[in-house]
Structure 1
Amino acid sequence: MSVVDSVLARVPQPYRKLAIRHRELLKFGVVGAITFLIDTGVFYGLKLTVLAPKPVTAKVIAVLAATAVSYVLNREWSFRTRGGRQRHHEATLYFVISAIGVAFYSAPLWISRYVFLLHTPYTSRFVEEIADFTSGQIIGLLVGMAFRWWAFRKWVFPEPDTSQHTPTRDHALTR
């Protein structure tokens, strides 16, 4: 029994059907949670050390690091039943869409810093940190994730690949 199957077995029946119906989205969310931790760790590691005067650059590097991990996890887990493209074509599309996603992730932080001037010396260090976290790690993440979910399903992993789909395993818990 896979980890997903064992988790689904513990979910109450009405929610189990919903979870199975939206399993790609749930897996995408788990991958997002993992890469959120990577993104946050890299962002603050850089922002509080070598890139202290350049938080947007730190954010871009953090998103790129998280994106590399995200591709592997999404390809091999979240969207493993989709595909049909050659791996190099799929990877190219993934990283092009992710590059566009960097703008979505970084724009709220840039607006917070350079439009609203929520950084020192215009505000306190405490307000700066709250604004950076809210705009970069929450708003940016939500906007970027919504864009990537839509774009990945539309262009990178567009349709189910029936040759890899195993209905018995994927739907065993719905019976």
Structure 2
Amino acid sequence: MTVVETVLKRTPEPLRSVLIKHRELLKFAIVGGTTFLVDNGVWYALKLTVLEPKPTTAKAIAIIVATIVSYILNREWSFRTRGGRERHHEAALFFVISGIAVGVNLVPLVVSRYVLDLEVPHVTFLVQEIADFASGSIIGMLLAMFFRFWGFKKWVFPDELGERRRDNDQATRLP
């Protein structure tokens, strides 16, 4: 029994039905939480050390690392029953959508730092870090998450291709 099935089994009925109906979204959110930790861990490790004067570059690198982790987890778990394209084609689409999402994710941080001047010496270090976290890790990541979920379902892992994969899985199972 998988972790998700165990959790669903212990969830009260009204909520269980909603979670089962939106299972992909739940898995996508768990992957998102995991990549959120990867993204912020890499971002702060870089921006507080070797890329201190370049927080946007550090964030872009962190997003790329998190995106690679996201591809693996989404392909093998969240959207496992969808897709069905050749892996290189699917990966290319995934990284195109994710590349656009990197831009979506960076816009709030760029606005915070370079339009609103929420950086030292205009504000204190604490205000700068709170603004960076709010704009880069909360607002930017949420905007990019909605864009990615929509793009992955529509183009990378479309359900029409997944029906073929599910049919093949069912045909190969023993009764």
Same fold by TM (over 0.5)?
yes
- Write the deviation string for residues 75-131 of structure 1: whole angstroms up to 9, x where unpaired: 000000101211110000000110111001111001000000000111111110110
User: Who is 2:36 aligned against?
Assistant: 36
- Write the deviation string for residues 25-73 of structure 1: whole angstroms up to 9, x where unpaired: 0000000000000000000000000000000000000000000000000
* Distance in 2 separating the partners of 1:22 and 1:104: 25
Amino acid at match of 2:40: T
Amino acid at match of 1:156: V
Amino acid at match of 1:27: K
User: Who is 2:150 aligned against?
Assistant: 150
* Distance in 2 separating the partners of 1:42 and 1:134: 17
Is 1:99 the counterpart of 2:99? The answer is: yes
- Where 1:53 maps in the other structure, the secondary structure is coil
CA drift of 1:165 comes to 3.2
Amino acid at match of 2:77: W
* Distance in 1 separating the partners of 2:104 and 2:116: 17
* Distance in 2 separating the partners of 1:3 and 1:115: 44
* Distance in 2 separating the partners of 1:137 and 1:4: 26
Moved over 4 A (4+): none
* Distance in 1 separating the partners of 2:110 and 2:157: 30
After TM superposition, the structure 1 = structure 2 runs for residues 153-164 of structure 1, keeping only pairs within 5 Å, are: 153-160=153-160, 161-164=162-165
* Distance in 1 separating the partners of 2:89 and 2:164: 19
User: Who is 2:171 aligned against?
Assistant: none
* Distance in 1 separating the partners of 2:131 and 2:124: 11
After TM superposition, the structure 1 = structure 2 runs for residues 74-153 of structure 1, keeping only pairs within 5 Å, are: 74-153=74-153
The TM-score with structure 2 as length reference comes to 0.92
Q: Which runs of 5+ in 2 are unaligned?
A: 168-175
More helix per residue: 1 or 2? Answer: 2
Amino acid at match of 2:86: Q
* Distance in 2 separating the partners of 1:124 and 1:9: 49
- Where 1:52 maps in the other structure, the secondary structure is coil
* Distance in 2 separating the partners of 1:162 and 1:120: 53
CA RMSD in angstroms, aligned pairs only: 1.1
After TM superposition, the structure 1 = structure 2 runs for residues 52-63 of structure 1, keeping only pairs within 5 Å, are: 52-63=52-63
* Distance in 1 separating the partners of 2:62 and 2:36: 10
CA drift of 1:162 comes to 2.7
- Write the deviation string for residues 130-172 of structure 1: whole angstroms up to 9, x where unpaired: 1000001100110010100110101000115234438xxxxxx
* Distance in 2 separating the partners of 1:142 and 1:29: 11
Paired residues of 2:39 and 2:62 also in contact (CA < 8 A): yes
- Where 1:63 maps in the other structure, the secondary structure is helix
Paired residues of 2:84 and 2:165 also in contact (CA < 8 A): no
Amino acid at match of 1:29: A
